[in-house]
């Protein structure tokens, strides 16, 4: 792979200038040629502000076409794009900006006072604003620049840094995953092929674009295919239903699909023209998978990826899409299961059917963590294998299943409990919407198993849940407590925040 993502975008814009790139909710269109010209204005503005190769461009702004154009513009200047979650507080932003030291920081106009104070102690940072309506000093400044590039576009090599995405920091401080142009382009080309995207496709895009799913997996795959996106500002189930007749594909998180199933007018007829439904970023329950298939006649395609790697595995486009599995390693991606207790310097690779840590290697694997060489060396082996921290197993047919995060593994009485196994059984109980199984300090067992449950039936109580699990699980795997909550805490991508739950229920067996 020699072409970077912008080169792939530019090729589409030159060869198919009138093709639709973005379709907005009012059905107005931004063509590939429009996006090329508008991103050139922004790139010219960036360069006039001193942004050049290797400089970081940090963006914390509500989803809009202009944010996507800024991503393209950053690539055109050779800058490193740094998307930031719109939910981050000023205190959190202070860490990211101090760590990444961007040349430019783009934020909402309404945050002007707070961001001015925040950046006062960060020399060398230029600030511009960008609102959800696409207005602000960024676009006003770009409007004064020509549509033709005033400097040659940056020509990337595969190893050149394209973006830094900060991980969620569930343990320790957040780490900036460094993704190269080669990482992004190779994965997008592979996904467009495996998922059969063509210029005829129209993707319903309701994901945030500060995350690898919405920004890279969705957008970059569309660019490679020369396809179009219906670009929604946020997830709105009613908007998905309104616009689905104009689309062919949907990429979403499990919440998208559970919410669609709750709508009376989401019918087999509505879904019939859709070619493909893809789910990721959080585990899709087998129950949702089966219910969706029964209603629509279409099997959701679940895949597995990470901030550090983009996509690693996928259920097949042709072939069985197994509920609860994330499919096979993608072409060009190697995957192995290793013993987490392997001695230092001697990796022990496990056999099919054995649970261990998932490791991957390929052109999609990131370059390391920004300014954290020790952490990079800890997670990225010298021969290119990345230790994902996910616990998984490969069955006799080669399908990969995720059983949890290594940090979520519960060791109760010296025995390993994999939360996903327990959660699957709890979620199958009538009246349970979803569950999260965690380990918290226990004076006798080391860790006690606790199930935190979101129920749709108010009659359910702890005794009912525990009775339903009798005989289905070894005693050491069974929850010792069941806690009921109105809603499980999630991050912006729908992942349940188990760290928060462990903190909330840390003392449920008494003070440690």
Lowest mean pLDDT among 113-117, 206-210, 431-435, 442-446: 442-446
Comparing 5-9, 235-239, 438-442, the range with the smallest average pLDDT is 438-442
Higher-confidence position of 345 and 187? 187
- Tell me the three state secondary structure of residue 206: coil
> How far apart (Å, rounded) are the C-alpha atoms in residues 358 and 339?
9
Query: In the prediction, which pLDDT does 408 show?
Result: 85
Residue 512 has pLDDT above 70, yes or no: no
Instruction: Say what the pLDDT of residue 168 is.
Output: 62
Residue 257 reports pLDDT greater than 70? yes
Q: What are phi and psi of 224, to 5 degrees?
A: -60, -40
Query: Where do the structural domains in the chain lie, given as residue ranges?
Result: 32-180, 235-405, 409-504
- Given this model, what pLDDT does residue 320 score? 97
Radius of gyration over every alpha carbon of the chain, rounded to an integer in angstroms: 23
DSSP H or E stretch at residue 237: helix 237-243
| Lowest-confidence segment of 42-56, 166-180, 220-234 by average pLDDT | 166-180
User: Residue 335: its pLDDT value, please?
Assistant: 98
Is the predicted pLDDT of residue 494 greater than 90, yes or no? Answer: no
Nearest-5° angle of CA 495, CA 336, CA 419? 35
pLDDT of 5 reads 94
CATH topology of domain 235-405: Rossmann fold (3.40.50)
| Whether pLDDT at 170 is above 70 | no
Exposure string over 217-255, b if 16+ CB within 10 A, otherwise e: bbbbbbbbbbbbbbbbeebebebbbebbeebbbbbbbbb
Indicate if the pLDDT at residue 98 is higher than 90.
Answer: yes
- Of 61, 64, 104, the C-alpha closest to 80 is 104
- pTM, 2 dp: 0.86
Q: What is the pLDDT of residue 447?
A: 87
Among 61-70, 79-88, 256-265, 419-428, the minimum mean pLDDT is found in 419-428
List the one residue out of 196, 289, 309 whose CA is nearest residue 249: 196
Asked if 235-405 and 409-504 have one fold, the answer is no
Q: Check whether 171 has a pLDDT greater than 60.
A: no
CA distance to 308, 403, 433, 482, per residue, from 470 (Å) = 40, 21, 20, 14
Looking at residue 511, what is its pLDDT?
A: 65
In order, the DSSP letters of 263-279 are -TT--HHHHTT--EEEE
Q: What is the DSSP string of 339-360?
A: -TTPPTT---BPPTT--EEEEE
CATH class, range 32-180: alpha beta
> Which H or E run contains 96?
helix 90-100
Instruction: Say what percent of the chain tops pLDDT 70.
Output: 98
**What is the pLDDT averaged over residues 379-396?**
95
Of 50, 64, 219, 76, nearest to 139 by C-alpha is 64
Do residues 494 and 255 lie in contact, with contact meaning Cβ atoms separated by under 8 Å? Answer: yes
* Average pLDDT score over the chain: 93
Residue with the larger pLDDT of the pair 469 and 494 = 469
CA distances from 301 to 244, 276, 308, 328, 355 (A): 17, 8, 21, 12, 23
Mean pLDDT for the stretch of residues 438-442: 91
* 8 Å CB contact between 232 and 242: no
pLDDT digits (tens, 9 = 90+) for 137-163: 999 999 999 999 999 999 999 999 999
Q: Per residue in 20-68, pLDDT tens?
A: 999 999 999 999 999 999 999 999 999 999 999 999 999 999 999 999 9
Sign of CA dihedral 489, 112, 142, 179: negative
**pLDDT-derived band of residue 239, with 50, 70 and 90 as boundaries?**
very high
Mean pLDDT of 282-299: 91
Residue 500, H or E segment: helix 498-504
Q: Which CATH superfamily is domain 409-504 in?
A: ANL, C-terminal domain (3.30.300.30)
Task: Please give the average per-residue pLDDT across 440-446, as a whole number.
Answer: 83
Q: What is the pLDDT of residue 406?
A: 80
Name the pLDDT band for 1 (thresholds 50, 70, 90): very low
Task: Check residue 187 and give its pLDDT.
Answer: 97
3-state secondary structure of 399: coil
């Amino acid at each position: 792979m020699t072409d970077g993502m912008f080169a792939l975008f530019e090729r589409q814009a030159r060869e198919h200038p009138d093709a639709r790139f973005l379709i907005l909710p009012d059905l107005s269109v931004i063509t590939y040629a429009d996006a090329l010209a508008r991103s050139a204005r922004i790139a010219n503005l960036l360069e006039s502000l001193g942004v050049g190769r290797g400089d970081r461009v940090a963006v914390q702004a509500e989803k809009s076409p202009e944010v996507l154009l800024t991503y393209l513009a950053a690539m055109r200047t050779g800058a490193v794009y740094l998307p930031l979650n719109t939910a981050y507080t000023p205190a959190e932003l202070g860490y990211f900006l101090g760590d990444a030291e961007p040349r430019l920081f783009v934020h909402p106009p309404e945050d002007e006072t707070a961001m001015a104070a925040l950046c006062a102690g960060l020399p060398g940072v230029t600030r511009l604003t960008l609102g959800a309506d696409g207005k602000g000093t960024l676009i006003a400044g770009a409007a004064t620049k020509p549509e033709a590039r005033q400097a040659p576009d940056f020509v990337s090599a595969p190893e050149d840094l394209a973006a830094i995405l900060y991980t969620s920091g569930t343990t320790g401080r957040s780490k900036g995953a460094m993704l190269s142009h080669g990482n992004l382009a190779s994965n997008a080309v592979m996904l467009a092929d495996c998922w059969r995207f063509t210029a005829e496709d129209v993707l319903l895009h309701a994901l945030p674009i500060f995350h690898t799913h919405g920004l890279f997996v969705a957008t970059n795959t569309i660019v490679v295919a020369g396809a179009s996106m219906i670009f929604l500002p946020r997830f709105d189930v009613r908007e998905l239903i309104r616009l689905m007749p104009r689309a062919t594909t949907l990429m979403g998180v499990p919440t998208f699909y559970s919410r669609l199933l709750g709508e009376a007018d989401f019918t087999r007829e509505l879904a019939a023209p859709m070619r493909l439904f893809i789910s990721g970023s959080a585990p899709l329950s087998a129950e949702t998978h089966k219910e969706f298939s029964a209603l629509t006649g279409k099997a959701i395609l679940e895949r597995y990826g990470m901030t550090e790697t983009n996509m690693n595995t996928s259920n097949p486009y042709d072939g069985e899409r197994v509920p609860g599995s994330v499919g096979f390693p993608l072409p060009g991606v190697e995957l192995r299961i290793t013993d987490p207790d392997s001695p230092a310097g001697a990796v022990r690779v496990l056999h099919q059917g054995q649970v261990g840590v998932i490791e991957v290697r390929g052109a999609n694997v990131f370059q390391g963590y920004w300014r954290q060489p020790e952490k990079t060396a800890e997670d990225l082996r010298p021969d290119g294998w990345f230790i994902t921290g996910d616990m998984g197993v490969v069955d006799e047919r080669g399908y990969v299943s995720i059983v949890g995060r290594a940090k979520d593994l519960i060791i109760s009485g010296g025995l390993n409990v994999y939360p996903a196994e327990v959660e699957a059984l709890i979620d199958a109980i009538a009246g349970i919407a979803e569950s999260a199984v965690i380990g918290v300090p226990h004076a006798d067992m080391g860790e006690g198993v606790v199930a935190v449950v979101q129920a749709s039936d108010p009659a359910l109580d702890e005794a009912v849940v525990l009775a339903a699990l009798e005989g289905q699980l070894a005693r050491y795997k069974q929850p010792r407590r069941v806690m009921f909550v109105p809603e499980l805490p999630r991050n912006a991508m729908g992942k349940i925040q188990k760290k928060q739950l462990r903190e909330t229920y840390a003392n449920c067996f008494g003070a440690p």
